Structure 1
């Protein structure tokens, strides 16, 4: 391995061990909590740096995932006291032989356990348990060793949850590839909250992984995975609405059977009543790291006596509307079904009023299936700072607005990229009718490629290799860009069968030189698409719009000068002066008038029609 790779491995070990040392209860003091947040943020930077410079194999992703989790596994429930409630529910099932939904922990019937560490350190002892049956079954498995001490039960519990999570990671690797799966597997949030704090989101991740993998192959297993996911967190039952279209009757029957089998040991009218009571209190009482909820609550403050409750219901309605749209636009293809699963998980996550760090894990897990990733990665990274709420409340408030504010900005840029890709397909559709028949293995040049989106569209449509060239590389397209000086291209004469030059000449210091080089390196056809003005007033307006669009696209990467938008007649004059053979021209009217010039390349027969 290279020195850089060893450094990256050492960095992973350093931040994970740092978490082990610094993740202490709030009573340890603000200094320890600040150190923990610093370690968690360092882990985010480590993961980003490592995945930008390394394409790990599936084995490497799994091995490093295990190593990171092993480093933090010894942690007690120091960051969250949920773990003690898990242990309590497991102990009640095994030690008392009763349902965890029957009694509140504070009930006098369980007073002989009130000196246990699990009771003294748990949260909300006056609430009935809200954890669904599959979670309770895992708690019971850990409760079988509660007599050996709560720590033994805690380690068994975490081992089971981590094992389920790693099943999900392996499945995700098979669906999206090792590098994309590492976005979740190596993320500090996943490592800390599952292996460190034992949150049941690890069970949900395992079920989601099986669902995403088997939805293409084994309908019965996919259906079972939906039921398992639903009995970990309830909202995944909504996934059945999109999955059933893919898995058919076998998957549906499997889902129903597994749901019934998991629920039967805990089913009673009393259990349903008590769990519903606590869920209602939970959903109407708690909120955390949800800027949409805070904004809605603030807006409703003077118009209703219960702004928090109304805000929570509005968010719930938004989640249902989103789910309805996803279901309505669903089809039976594997790709669309997987996207729909990811979209539903993300929708329910972001419309929740309570987003503790571990609640973000399901969204992080399905993130590789979605196009917009940066905003959620930012939201997930900043959430570690919310742990400061217990020692420094103003820092928590800052984290909420920094997390969501940054996510909105990044999402806006993601949408801009999506818009530009959409527009690139529009540009390509205008060029497509004038593309000659290309031989197998044809070579195409995208000259002045920018982000490379037009080249991406061309390559996807024609299935040919595309070379990108420009005077600067500022884009995030998938193609490598060959840089040149704007005068002489580093290619042989006639090297390409087709060259496209899209909205390039008006940014060229010497457009004639660009045209000469495009013709020289092309043995077939050169397609030039240019912005043109049709009335004098348009020239100034189009140049202002061009400058604004390029600032949004690239900041300072595209120089505002030179910028010279010309009329169709002016571009024709340039072509005549250069002696370029024009096969055909076409103009497109509208708010953004354009002209298309079909030119003969080097050695092509010269014929000119207008």
Structure 2
């Protein structure tokens, strides 16, 4: 063994062994795990989270070593089909439709299957895999997402595994972009650049994005790029990636009121116009007269028909439902008010003077997002990745705790049909809220205004 390799081994052998063990655990996660096997799932995740913490603790100044480790963790999942989510079947379905010249917003899968015997080669497999809920509804994925699906299907040779691998490589490239611009953004905020490793090495990010193929990572790349450009002073240029982020996932829409105080009355209208122009340009190729009706129908479905891993919603449901008001009636009433509550929160936060600073802008975005997720009726584990990233750029670390406990929600799939445990939800959210309270009262800048008011 050359002297340089021997020296490296002697200095980093514990970390190398932890990387090798992590690779084994990610392999088990990707190729040998059933979603219903809660004990194995929680055990693997807990071990991976502990190893992530120790790797960052031991090697946080050895950036190259940890970047290579993070890439290897993603590559080991490259040939695995997502095991914790079936959404990828709909991704490939929508991508295939676009390549066949069919608008995914115009037709429900069940209607297409009923009207054609041989829609396309993978139609029967994808239709069966996406599940009944997806079969009966229009696509709810924004336009730029659809183009990504179509590109993945084309690059993957119109095969299921090829399409999955192509999407995983897209997400890997997006994560590398977040790593690059995230470090620069941390420097702009006068924070330690190594903090971005809490995103890049976090098991939640690796499993839900590279493992389960959720495109939050691609959206976050455009968001981080927009923030980097905005804080550098290139606010007009920042509107382009911000519009692309909205065209991938609608979540960044809720932060738009913050740009008004941050940019001022002269610049913000121009920023909004450019952002809107990018969104409309992405939408235009897929637009048709009934688009708004179909898309809003699907959005209303998610707000008012389902509940999963909710915190304050479950508490309010327990308090206000009974003989006079059933749970299915309550969620429809409750779901109507969540968008308005989010808008009011965003407007209220935009009035806070510190929003005009870079740190205040990020902190305000985190507050809005957390209010939304704490009140939402559906909080899938991958939803937490956005607040996790924002938390890294702020003074708060409770989102790291949330990224560790949110995996408990998967225990609901141990039952058939899916059934959540109130005890598990209490454990998950008690840890999160307890850490929020601890951080608020540990930080004098937040504690003094709270005690004063």
TM range (shorter): 0.7 to 0.9
Q: Is the 8 A contact 2:89 2:126 kept in 1?
A: yes
The residue aligned with 2:57 is 52
CA distance in 2, matches of 1:199, 1:38: 23
- In the other structure, the counterpart of 2:207 is 192
Asked if structure 1 preserves the Cα contact closer than 8 Å seen for 2:440 and 2:447, the reply is: no
**Correspondence 1:36 to 2:36:** no
Contact 1:8 1:46 in 2 (8 A): no
Name the structure 2 match of 1:363: 387
SS at match of 1:9: helix
**Structure 1 residue 406 and structure 2 residue 431: aligned?**
yes
1:255 to partner: Cα distance: 1.3
TM-score, length-scaled by structure 1: 0.64
Aligned mate of 1:388, from 396, 411, 414: 411
Provide the TM-score with structure 2 as the length reference: 0.85
Change (3 A) 1:422 1:115: closer
1:100 maps to 2:116: no
Distance 1:49 1:58, change over 3 A: closer
TM-aligned CA distance change 1:398 to 1:166, over 3 Å: farther
Q: Which moved more, 1:334-343 or 1:99-108?
A: 334-343
Give deviations 1:330-386, integer Å, cap 9, x for gaps: 54333333333333333333332211111111111111123221x322222122232
Contact 1:83 1:197 in 2 (8 A): yes
Question: Structure 1 CA distance, aligned partners of 2:194 and 2:443?
Answer: 22
1:112 aligns with 2:118: yes
CA distance in 1, matches of 2:47, 2:180: 25
C-alpha distance in 1, partners of 2:209/2:399? 19
Determine if contact 1:382/1:399 at 8 Å carries over to the other structure. no
SS in 2 for 1:144: helix
Query: Cα gap change, 1:275/1:16 in structure 2, threshold over 3 Å: closer, same or farther?
Result: farther
Relative to total residues, which structure has the larger strand share, 1 or 2? 1
What residue number does 1:372 align with? Answer: 396
Matches within 5 A, 1:143-182: 143-145=153-155, 147-176=157-186, 177-182=192-197
Contact 1:235/1:348 (CA < 8 Å) preserved in 2?
A: no
**C-alpha displacement of 1:57:** 4.7
Q: Does the C-alpha gap of structure 1 residues 111 and 79 become closer, same or farther in structure 2, counting only changes over 3 Å?
A: farther
Q: Which moved more, 1:36-45 or 1:347-356?
A: 347-356
**How far apart in 1 are the matches of 2:158 and 2:333?**
47
CA deviation after TM superposition for structure 1 residue 246, in Å? 4.0
Q: Is the 8 A contact 1:89 1:139 kept in 2?
A: yes
Cα root mean square deviation, aligned: 2.7
Q: If each structure's helix is expressed as a fraction of its own residues, which one has the higher value?
A: 2
CA change 1:295–1:235 in 2 (3 A) is: same
Query: C-alpha separation between the residues in 2 aligned to 1:266 and 1:76?
Result: 29
2:13 matched to 1:13? Answer: no
Give the match's secondary structure for 1:128.
coil
Q: Which moved more, 1:412-421 or 1:225-234?
A: 412-421
Preserved CA contact (<8 Å) 1:135 1:232: yes
1:134 to 136, 144, 160: 144
Give the aligned partner of residue 313 of structure 2. 293
Matched, 1:281 2:301: yes
Give the secondary structure class of the aligned counterpart of 2:356.
Answer: coil
What's the counterpart of residue 504 of structure 1?
none
Contact preservation (8 Å) 2:42, 2:407: yes
**CA distance in 1 between partners of 2:48 and 2:221 (Å):** 23
Relative contact order higher in (CA < 8 Å, ≥ 6 apart): 2
CA-CA distance at 1:300 after TM superposition: 1.4
Equivalent residue, structure 1, for 2:74: 69
The 8 Å contact of residues 204 and 404 in structure 2, kept in 1 or not, is answered as yes
Is 2:362 aligned against 1:338? Answer: yes
Query: Following TM superposition, by how much is the alpha carbon of 1:229 offset from its aligned partner in structure 2, in angstroms?
Result: 1.7
Deviations 1:223-267 (A, max 9, x none): 122212212221311222223544525533431221121111112
Q: Shift of residue 104 of structure 1?
A: 0.6
Question: How many residues were matched structurally?
Answer: 421
The answer to whether the 8 A contact 1:189-1:361 is kept is yes
Q: Give the drift of 1:13.
A: 3.4
Q: Assess if the C-alpha contact under 8 Å between 1:300 and 1:311 holds in 2.
A: no
CA distance in 2, matches of 1:231, 1:311: 27
- CA deviations over 1:175-215 (Å, ceiling 9, x no partner): 22432111111110000111111101111211221122111
- Structure 1 or 2, whichever has the larger Rg, is 1
Structure 1 residues 155 and 166: CA distance shift in structure 2, 3 A? same
| Counterpart in the other structure of 2:129 | 121
Q: Aligned partners of 1:350 and 1:264: how far apart in 2? A: 34
